[in-house]
Amino acid sequence: MDHHTTLFAPASGFGRSAVAVIRISGPLAADALRRLTHRPLPPPRRLVLRPLRDAAGDALDQALVVWLPGPGTFTGEDMAELHLHGGPAIRAAILKALAACPGCSPAKAGEFTRRAFLNGRIGLTEAEGIADLIDAETEAQRRQALRQLDGALGRQVAEWRDRIIDLLAGVEAALDFSDEGDVDDEALDAALFAKARALRDAIATVLDDGRCGERLRDGFTVVLAGPPNAGKSTLLNALSRREAAIVSPVAGTTRDVIEVRCDLHGLPVILVDTAGLREAADPIEAEGIRRTRSRMDQADLVLLLDDGATTDAETAPSAPSPILRVRTKSDLSASSMTGAGLAVSAVTGDGLGALLEAIAQRAAHAIGGDTALITRERHRDGLTRCRDHLDRLLQGTALPELAAEDLRLAVRALGEVAGHVGVEDMLDRLFSGFCIGK
């Protein structure tokens, strides 16, 4: 959409509510507010009560309105907000009246935040922090998103980028003044390599975080696996405290994976019920088992369930993921598991607390604290390429021409993380995932 278009959209949820907020941003925001109130603009940044009317003068609502002149606004543009009564009919009438204002158009998903980025009000990683904050389901996710919104990664990337640009300036000086006697190539090379190595090591340290940030953002995945009728679906329902999966004594009831998201001690955990592991002639069940093994390969933790009626060979996993063995239906058996596993009963609840604690401990260890800088694969890809270019520089012949090219590529990789270069397609993907009106 043209950056000169004035946008409007609801900034609060749909359905009935006490208050609904509509946001307006763009060069004609002031004109739109005057058209709706039929009065001059109110004092800046003060909520005032105004009647809202359509172009014909018919009353629409009594609302609190606020005028926010740019550039000191979220988007960097002139903005206005309408705080309406929250009925769907009122909201629809106001949106219809705004659509009738010349130069005003409904906003697409994430378009307000996109304008804030394009107008320099926030960086790209801060914009991602806004999206993560909206999507945060647990306390740990909230804290991590706030760190991104506060610019933790953006500031670090900017500092690294400045250091690489300084190195690049030194190399280009060697190229420009190679015939001058006051440029000592050997001393410059020694200083360059020392600084490049320190920078490379700093980036490598951040990359070597066990993907804690991505795990926290996406959730710690726990796959329940085992033979048919081992109690996977029953245990999933017991752990999630709701009837998320169908439970049946018929073997092979679960044909596809079922996911349930949980907040476990403030950490996001995804419990995955899967098809029972066995040799299956039914092609549909066989596909479910193939998906089970695929999810086991990708899991952060596999709960390998055994009700005591199967052999180890039947329940042996083919996954490289960490495994916690769990003996189910402990209320029906006097045997218990010690050391390598836990015994639980989904019927009586025995052992469920210990199992949840074991999962929480593994999730906390995998996710770590809330200090991870990298929270998306895009960040990791850019930093990895930057590190690789610095590695190539350190392993090269120290020719100024080659060193300069490696440093330029390293700067470009960091620029993509920060949103300075080559990110138009990525911006479309990022902001399309936002809410309308954000």
Annotated binding site for GTP: 229-234, 248-254, 273-276
Q: Which residues are documented as binding site for K(+)?
A: 229, 248, 250, 253
Q: Residue 101, CB half-sphere, CA atoms under 13 Å: how many? A: 29
Cite the annotated binding site by residue number. Answer: 23, 81, 121, 229-234, 248-254, 273-276, 438
Annotated binding-site residue numbers for Mg(2+): 233, 254
- The whole-angstrom separation of Cα 408 and Cα 399 is 14
Q: Centre a 10 Å sphere on the Cβ of residue 2 and count the other Cβ atoms it contains.
A: 8
Contact 414, 154 (CB under 8 A): no
Which sign, positive or negative, has the C-alpha torsion 70, 86, 89, 60?
Answer: negative
Return binding residues for (6S)-5-formyl-5,6,7,8-tetrahydrofolate. 23, 81, 121, 438
At 216, list the tokens: 């926290």
d(CA 24, CA 9) in angstroms, rounded, equals 7
- The length of the chain is 438
Tokens of 325: 């063995």
Residues 6 or more apart in contact with residue 431 via CB below 8 angstroms: 108, 109, 110, 111, 113, 114, 127
CA 12, 15, 20, 23 dihedral sign is: positive
For residue 343, give both structure tokens.
């015994």
User: How far are the Cα atoms of 20, 245, 271, 338 from residue 332, in angstroms, in the given order?
Assistant: 55, 22, 24, 17
Q: Contact at 8 Å (CB) between 228 and 234?
A: no
For residue 162, what are the contacts with CB-CB under 8 A and spacing of at least 6?
none
How far lies 155's CA from each of 79, 122, 132, 149, 389, in Å? 28, 12, 18, 11, 21
